[in-house]
Amino acid sequence: PFYQQQASCNESLLKLAKLGFNLLQSLHKKELSQVYKYAKTYCRWWKSFDVPTNLAYARNRLVECYFWSLSVFFEPKYSQSRMFLAKVLSMETILDDTYDA
């Protein structure tokens, strides 16, 4: 059963847990949007190659790369590390797909 359905449920603790979850979720959403914006806006090679069109065989796995980095650097203080690793992994995925093609 869920915690809020238990007789020993502490409402203050439940509210605090929900608040913590929502804050962490908003941090992850913000980081993911920054990683995506970086790849679309600042990477000259991404724009010049028009990766989704010209490299159709390449997987666009930016979200998966972010979640992989999230499993490595899960604490909120490692925000920069998560975003950096997601960017590196997305580039590596394209290189791997180019080699496999």
Residue 97 has pLDDT above 70, yes or no: yes
Cα 61 from chain centre: 10
Per-chain mean pLDDT for the chain? 86
User: Which phi-psi region, left, alpha or beta, contains residue 50 (left: φ > 0; alpha: ψ -120 to 50)?
Assistant: left
CA 58 to centroid of chain Cα atoms: 19
**Beta-carbon contacts of residue 68 (< 8 Å; ≥ 6 apart):** 85, 86, 89
Band of pLDDT at residue 23, cut at 50, 70 and 90: very high
- The model's confidence at residue 69, banded by pLDDT at 50, 70 and 90, is very high
Residue 71 has pLDDT above 90, yes or no: yes
CA atoms within 13 A on the CB side of 43: 17
- Give the pLDDT confidence score for residue 4 in this predicted structure: 86
pLDDT at 10 over 90: yes
Phi, psi at 70, each rounded to 5°? -65, -35
User: Measuring CA to CA, which residue among 57, 60, 61, 83 is closest to residue 72?
Assistant: 83
pTM: 0.71
Residue 25 has pLDDT above 80, yes or no: yes
pLDDT for 57 beyond 70? yes
Supply the pLDDT for residue 17. 94
